Amino acid sequence: MTRVLVTGFAPFGGEQVNPSWQAASLLAAEPPTGLGVTAAELPCVFGAALDALRDAVRASAPDLVVCLGQAGGRPAVTVERVAVNIDDARIPDNAGAQPVDEPVIPGGPAAYFSTLPVKACVAALRAAGVPAAVSNTAGTFVCNHVAYGLGHLLATEFPGVRGGFVHVPWAPEQVTDGSAPALEPATVARGLRALLTAAASTPAGQDLRVTEGATH
C-alpha cells in the first residue's frame, strides 16, 4: 500500500476554519483505494510549519507528500508547479511574524519544482468533476514557505519521496455573501482522492504532455 502524508493549515487571518485542513481530514478519514493516508495540521507560522512538516514526514514514512493550503479567491483547486526561495509576507503569520524579502532556506536554490505529475493531477481532478488548473505561483506567504521547504526536505533528507503543494479555494462558510468563489471541502476531497491516485500511479519523472501554461 502506498503511504501518503497530506497536510493542511490551521486557520489564519482571522478565519475560523481552513479548508485545506478540512479537506486533509476528510482524505484521512476516507482514503482512496490502495492508499494509506495520514493527515497532519501545520501551524500557519514561518519556521514552525517546516518543523511540523519534518516531524510528520519522519513519523509517517510516506511514499508521497501532498501539502494543501488555502488560496482565497481562486475558483479552482490549483496544483503548484514551482515554489521559490523567498518569504515576503503581506500580512503577519499566526505568531505575528512578517518577514520581508527573506529566504526560506538561506543558501538554498532559487526554486524547487514539484515532483508530483502536476498535469496528470489536474486532469484527474477535472475527471472527478472538480475545477482545477496548474498554478505557477504559490505566493510568498506560509504556503510557498511550506512548498519550498517540502522541496528542500525531500531533496536533502528524503530523496526517495515525491511531493508537492496544492491550493484549495475558500469553503462556502467563509464567503457567506457570495462575493468570491468557494468549494465545499467534501467536493475538494473528492477531487483530491483522484489526484492522489493519479500521483501514486504515475511513475516518477513522468507526466501528461499537454498544454497547461499561462501568458501571465
Instruction: Measure the CA–CA gap between 143 and 149, rounded to whole angstroms.
Output: 10
Active site residue 143: yes
| Catalytic, out of 44, 67, 121, 143 | 143
Using an 8 Å Cβ cutoff, are 38 and 116 in contact?
no
CB within 8 A of 77, min separation 6: which ones? Answer: 125, 130, 131, 132, 133, 166, 167, 168, 169, 183, 188, 191, 192, 195
DSSP code at position 116: S
What are residue 84's DSSP bridge partners? 111
Rounded Cα distance between 4 and 196, Å, is 8
Q: Please pick, among 80, 121, 145, 152, the residue that the annotation labels catalytic.
A: 80
How many Å separate Cα 159 from the centre of its chain?
19
Half-sphere exposure of 126 toward its Cβ, with a 13 Å CA cutoff?
12
Residue 147: its pLDDT value, please? 99
Indicate if 121 belongs to the active site: no
Per-residue pLDDT band for 174 (boundaries 50, 70, 90) equals very high
Which is the catalytic residue, given 44, 145, 152, 167?
Answer: 167
- Which pLDDT score, from 0 to 100, does residue 53 have? 98
Active site residue 80: yes
Pairing mode, strands 162-168 and 77-80: antiparallel
Residue 113 confidence (pLDDT): 98
pLDDT for 10 equals: 98
How many other β-carbons are positioned within 10 Å of the β-carbon of residue 117? 25
Give the mean pLDDT of 110-139. 98
Mean pLDDT of the chain: 97
Q: Percentage of residues in the chain with pLDDT exceeding 90?
A: 99
In this predicted structure, what is the pLDDT of residue 79?
Answer: 98
Mean of pLDDT values over 136-146: 98
Percent of the chain with pLDDT over 70: 100
Candidates 68, 182, 90, 67; CA nearest to 139 is 90
pLDDT band (50, 70, 90) for residue 31: very high
Q: What's phi and psi for 35, nearest 5 deg?
A: -120, 140
